[in-house]
A and B are shown apart, each in its own frame.
Chain A
Amino acid sequence: MKKRNELALHLIGEVGHYILEANPKRLVISLHLEDDGFHLKILDDIVRSDKEIEEMNLMLHETQRPELAGYYGSMTGFETLGHARLGMVGWQVKHGEVRHRDGGSQIDIWLGGEQFDPPHFTIPADKA
Chain B
Amino acid sequence: MNERASESDMEAQASQFMAENPERTSARRRPTEADAATYDREHRGTVGELRSEVPRMRCTRVNVRYGDKHAIRDVSLDVGKNEVLAMIGPSGCGKSTFLRCLNRMNDTVAGCRVTGEILLDGKDIMAPDVDVVPLRARVGMVFQKPNPFPKSIFENVAFGPRIHGLAQSHAELEEIVVSSLQKANLWDEVKDRLAHPGTGLSGGQQQRLCIARAIAIQPEVILMDEPCSALDPISTAKIEQLIDELRRNYSICIVTHSMQQAARVSQRTAYFHLGDLIEVGDTDRIFVKPQHQLTEDYITGRFG
Is chain B a partner of chain A in the same complex?
no
* A contacts, CB < 8 Å to B: none
